[in-house]
Amino acid sequence: MELLLLILSTLLILTLVCHFFYLNKQNGPEKLPLPPGHVSWPFKYFETLDYLKKAKTDAIHEFIAERVHKYKNSKCFKTYHVGQKMVFLTSAEGNKFLFSNDYKLVRSWWPDTFLKVLENAGDEITIEDVTRARKQFLSFFNEPDALARHVAITDQVVQDHFRRYWDGCNEVRVYPLARKLTFDVSFRLLADIRDREILDESLPLMVQVVRAFFALPINFPGTTFNRAIKSSRKLRKIFVDIIKERRSELLEKKNLDERNDILSRILVENYKEGKDVDDVFLAKNLVALLSAAFDNPSATITSIMKNLADLPEISEKVRKEPPASGTFREAIEDFNYEGFRIPKGWKVHWSIHATNRNPEYFPNPETFDPSRFERNDPIVPYSYVPFGGGQHICPGKDYAKLQILLFMHHAVRKFKWEKVNPDEQMIRDPDLSPAKGLPVRLCPYACDNELA
C-alpha cells in the first residue's frame, strides 16, 4: 500500500511539473508573433535594395521612418540586412532595452565579412578573440590619467598636420585630409609610428579594409572583398614587423616604460608577467582597432566643416570658444520585445538614425543647430546615443572627441573657408563622405576681407 501511494504521489508531482512547464511555454516568447516586416524571398531583396538606395544619399532615417509609419508606429520591424534576418529597434526605449541586456538576451555581432577580412590564411579570428584582445588594449585607454597623457601627443600630430597639408594652401579637399589626420593620430597612439613612409603606405590599405566590412563576401580578383583581404594581409605584415622590432628593443632593455603607445605598454606588461602573445594575433587585433579608431572621427570632422561653411555665423561663435550609424547584436535566446518574438540567432540593430533624425525627439532634426544642446531643453534618455551604450559603449569616445575638438580648434583659429561646390551632398559609399571630398577655398584670418 505504501509503495502504491509513493508511485501515485510521484506521478502527481510529475503531472503538476509538466503542466507548469506547458503553461509557461504557452505564455513564453515562442508563442508571440514576429515583428512586422519582410525577410522572405523575394521581398528580402527589395528590402536590401531600398536600404542601399537610401543609404547612398544619407537617408537611412527615411528607410526607418517609412516602415515605422507603414507598420502603424511599431517600435520595431523585421527586414533583411547585410545578409541576415534582422530586427530594427526604432525608439529611445529600444536603445535602452538593447543596451541593458548585453550578455543577457543579446551579444555583440558583426557581419561575417568583418571577421573574414581580418583572419589570416585559414587561421580564423573570432568575436571572442577580438573582444578579449580589445579589453586588454583598451584597459590602457581607460586608466585615470590616460587621456591627459595623450592630449599633448594628439595636439602635436594635429599641428604638424596643419603645417604640412593646410598652411599656405588656397584650396584643400577636407575629407581625405581628415582621414589622413585621424589615421596618423590613431597609429601614433596605438603603436607610436611617426615614419611618414609607413603611414602613407598603410592608409590606402586600411581604406580598402574598411570598405569591405559590409560588402558582399565575393572573393574573386578585383572585388571589394578580395582587395580588402589582400590589404589586410599587407597591414598585418607591417604590424608584425613593427612588433618584432619593438620586442627586440624590449629584449635589449631599452626603456619602453617611457612610451605611451598601446603596443609598447602591452608588450611590457606581457613581458613582466611572462606571457607569450603570438605576433600575428596581436597584429590582427591592431588592424581591427585601427580600423575602428580612424574612420568615424574623420567623417564627423568633414560634416562639421561642411556645415560651418554653410553657416559662417556659427563658425565665428566656434572660433571665439572652440569646443557610427549604429551597431549590431545577436539574440542568444528567444525574447519578448514590445509584444513581438525575437528568435534566437536573429540579429538586432540599433541605429542613430532612428532617434537622432526623428522630430519626435529633436525638432527640425535636419537643421545644423549646435545651440540646441546649450538651451537645456530636456532630452529623452537614450535618444541621443552617438557612442552607443551598455557594455559595448564606444571605449574610444573620449579620444574621438579629443581628435575632433583639437582639429576644429586649429581650423577655426587659422581659417575661414567656403565650399568649392556649394550643393555638394553627403553620400554613403559605403561610408558617409562628401560626394567630391569636400574641396574648400581657404582664407587665413590675415586676409579676412578676401572671402567677405
User: What tens digit of pLDDT does each residue of 269-319 get?
Assistant: 887 777 777 888 888 888 888 887 777 888 889 988 998 888 776 766 555
User: Position of cell 598585418?
Assistant: 236
**Residue 208 near residue 227, CB atoms below 8 Å:** yes
| Angle of CA points 58, 59, 63, to nearest 5° | 145
Which pLDDT score, from 0 to 100, does residue 138 have? 63
Reduce the DSSP state of residue 345 to 3 states and report it.
coil
Q: What is the pLDDT of residues 381-402, one digit of tens each?
A: 888 887 777 776 776 777 788 8
Measured distance CA(154)–CA(158) in Å, rounded:
6
Q: Bridge-partner residues for 452, per DSSP?
A: none
Residue 434 has pLDDT above 70, yes or no: yes
Distance CA 23, CA 170 (A): 74
Report the Cα–Cα distance between both ends of the chain, in Å, rounded. Answer: 106
Is a pLDDT exceeding 80 seen at residue 133? no
Q: Which of 253, 289, 258, 284 is nearest to 271 (CA)?
A: 253
Among 122-131, 146-155, 269-278, which stretch is predicted with the lowest mean pLDDT? 122-131
What pLDDT does residue 286 have? 86
Amino acid at 448: D
How many other CB atoms are found less than 10 A from the CB of residue 40?
8
- The number of beta carbons lying within 10 Å of the beta carbon of residue 94 is 22
Cα-atom radius of gyration of the chain, to the nearest Å? 26
Residue spans of beta strands (DSSP E) within 230-346: 326-331, 335-337, 340-342
The C-alpha angle 223, 227, 232, rounded to 5 degrees, equals 145
Average predicted confidence (pLDDT) for the chain: 81
What does the alpha-carbon distance between residue 146 and residue 326 come to, in Å, rounded to a whole number? 26
| Whole-angstrom distance, CA of residue 291 vs CA of residue 203 | 10
Report the alpha-carbon distance of residue 331 to residue 102 in Å, rounded.
10
The answer, yes or no, to whether residue 17 has pLDDT greater than 50, is no
| Nearest Cα to Cα of residue 305 among 176, 113, 128, 124 | 176
Tell me how crowded residue 443 is: count the other CB atoms within 10 A of its CB: 18
Full set of structural domains in the chain with CATH: 30-444 (1.10.630.10)
Residue 220 has pLDDT above 80, yes or no: yes
Q: What is the pLDDT of residue 161?
A: 96
Answer for the pair 68, 37: CB distance below 8 angstroms, yes or no. Answer: no
Q: CA-CA distance, 110 to 353, in Å (whole number)? A: 19
pLDDT level of residue 255 (50, 70, 90 thresholds): low
pLDDT at 332 over 70: yes
pTM of structure: 0.80
Contacts of 140 (CB under 8 A, 6+ apart): 146, 262, 265, 266
Q: Find the helix packing angle between 397-414 and 312-320, rounded to 10°.
A: 100
Instruction: Flag whether pLDDT at 206 surpasses 60.
Output: yes
The residue to which cell 572583398 is assigned: 225
Q: Which of 4-8, 224-228, 321-325, 379-383 has the highest mean pLDDT?
A: 224-228
- pLDDT tier at 452, thresholds 50, 70, 90: very low
Residue 279: helix, strand or coil by DSSP? helix
Whether residue 261 contacts residue 255, with contact meaning beta carbons closer than 8 Å, is answered with no
Tell me which residue has cell 566643416.
305
Kindly list the strands in the beta sheet with 326-331, ordered across the sheet, starting from the edge strand earlier in the chain: 76-81, 84-89, 347-351, 326-331, 106-109
* CA pair distance 258, 149, nearest whole angstrom: 12
C-alpha cell at 186: 590613431
Q: What is the pLDDT of residues 56-99, one digit of tens each?
A: 888 889 999 999 999 988 899 999 988 889 999 999 999 999 99
